[in-house]
C-alpha cells in the first residue's frame, strides 16, 4: 500500500517537475524583466512542490531512497507526467496558454486534495494551493490581455491555443491509480473535475475573445509512461549530471 501511495505522489510530482523544468529554460529569456521574474517564480514554486511530493514518496517507496533518485534516475517510461507539461516553449503565447490550461487544472486538483485523508498529502496541497492561486491569476490575466490585445497577439494566442488545446483532456483522464486513490479517500479522480474545468477555462477564453478549438485529437499516454518526442530531450538535460557522474554528492 505504501508503495502505491508513493507511486501516486510521484505521478503528482512529475507534472510539477517537468513543467518547472520547462519554465526554467526561459529564465533570462523572458519578453520583459517582470515577466521573466514571474515565470521563474512559478518554476520555483513547482519545483518546491516537486520536492515535497518526492521527499514524501521516498519515505513511502520500496524503490527509492531520496528525492533526487526519483527526479533524475528513472527511465522515460517511468515518468508519469501529462503531455501538456512537456510541450516546448515555442513562444510566449504557447508558454502562457500551456500555463493557464495547467494552472486551472492544478487549482481544482489541489482544492480537492486538500480533503485527502492522508495528512501529509493534505498538508502539501494546502501549502501549494496558495502558490497555484497566484499562478492562475498570472496566467489568466496574460491570456486575457494577449487575446484581447492587438491583432497580432490575438492571432498568436489563437494559434497557440489551437496547438495546446488537444492536451487538456489528458489532464482530466483518470489513470488506474487515480481511481484507486480516490476510492481510498487519498487522491482525486480528475474526471470529477472535468465539468468545472472546462466551464472555467472556456469562460476565460471567451473573455480573452479567443475561439474554443474543436476537439480533434486528444493527447494521452503520459500517465502510462508513453511520452511525446520532446520528452527525451528534456530528460537528457535533466539527467545529464546524474547520469554522467553517478553516485556522487552535489
Partner 1 sequence: MDAFEKVFEAKLEAEEKIEPKDWMPEKYRKTLIRQISQHAHSEIVGMLPEGNWITRAPSLRRKVALLAKVQDEAGHGLYLYSAAETLGVERATLLDQLHEGKAKYSSIFNYPTVSWADIGAIGWLVDGAAIMNQVMLTRASYGPYARAMVRICKEESFHQRQGYEIMMTLSNGSEEQKAMAQDALDRWWWPSLMMFGPSDKESTHSAQSMAWKIKRKSNDDLRQQFVDVSVPQAEYLGLKIPDDKLKWNEERGHYDFGEIDWDEFWNVIKGNGPCNEERLAARVKAHEEGEWVRDAALAYAEKHSNKQKVEA
What is the C-alpha separation between 39 and 25, in angstroms, rounded? 10
Q: How many CB atoms are closer than 10 A to CB 139?
A: 24
Question: Binders of partner 1 among 112-171, rule CB under 8 A?
Answer: 144-146, 148-150, 152-153, 156
And the C-alpha cell for 106?
492544478
Question: Binders of partner 1 among 172-211, rule CB under 8 A?
Answer: none
CB of 143 to partner 1, least distance (A): 11
One of 63, 68, 112, 180 touching partner 1 (CB under 8 A): 68
CB 10 within 8 A of CB 178: no
Angle at 188 between CA 186 and CA 194, to 5 degrees: 170
And the C-alpha cell for 63?
524503490
CB of 157 to partner 1, least distance (A): 9
Please tell me whether residue 32 binds partner 1 under the rule CB under 8 A. Answer: yes
What is the C-alpha separation between 18 and 30, in angstroms, rounded? 19
Please tell me whether residue 242 binds partner 1 under the rule CB under 8 A. Answer: yes
Contact positions toward partner 1, by CB under 8 A?
21, 24-25, 27-37, 40-41, 43-44, 47-48, 50-51, 54, 67-68, 71-72, 91-92, 144-146, 148-150, 152-153, 156, 237-238, 240-242, 245, 248-250
Amino acid at each position: 500500500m505504501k508503495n502505491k501511495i508513493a507511486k501516486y505522489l510521484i505521478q503528482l510530482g512529475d507534472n510539477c517537475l517537468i513543467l518547472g523544468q520547462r519554465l526554467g529554460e526561459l529564465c533570462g529569456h523572458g519578453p520583459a524583466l517582470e515577466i521573466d521574474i514571474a515565470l521563474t517564480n512559478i518554476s520555483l514554486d513547482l519545483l518546491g512542490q516537486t520536492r515535497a511530493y518526492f521527499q514524501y514518496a521516498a519515505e513511502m517507496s520500496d524503490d527509492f531512497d531520496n528525492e533526487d533518485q526519483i527526479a533524475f534516475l528513472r527511465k522515460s517510461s517511468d515518468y508519469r507526467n501529462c503531455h501538456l507539461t512537456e510541450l516546448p516553449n515555442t513562444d510566449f503565447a504557447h508558454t502562457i496558454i500551456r500555463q493557464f490550461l495547467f494552472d486551472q487544472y492544478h487549482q481544482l486538483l489541489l482544492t480537492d486534495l486538500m480533503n485527502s485523508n492522508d495528512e501529509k498529502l493534505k498538508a502539501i496541497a494546502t501549502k501549494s494551493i496558495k502558490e497555484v492561486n497566484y499562478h492562475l491569476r498570472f496566467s489568466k490575466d496574460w491570456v486575457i490581455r494577449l487575446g484581447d490585445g492587438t491583432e497580432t497577439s490575438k492571432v498568436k494566442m489563437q494559434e497557440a491555443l489551437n496547438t495546446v488545446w488537444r492536451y487538456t483532456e489528458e489532464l482530466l483522464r483518470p489513470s488506474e491509480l487515480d481511481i484507486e486513490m480516490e476510492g481510498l479517500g487519498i487522491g482525486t479522480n480528475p474526471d470529477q473535475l472535468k465539468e468545472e474545468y472546462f466551464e472555467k477555462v472556456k469562460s476565460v477564453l471567451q473573455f480573452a475573445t479567443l475561439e474554443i478549438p474543436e476537439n480533434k485529437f486528444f493527447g494521452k499516454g503520459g500517465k502510462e509512461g508513453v511520452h511525446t518526442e520532446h520528452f527525451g530531450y528534456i530528460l537528457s538535460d535533466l539527467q545529464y549530471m546524474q547520469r554522467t557522474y553517478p553516485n556522487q554528492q552535489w
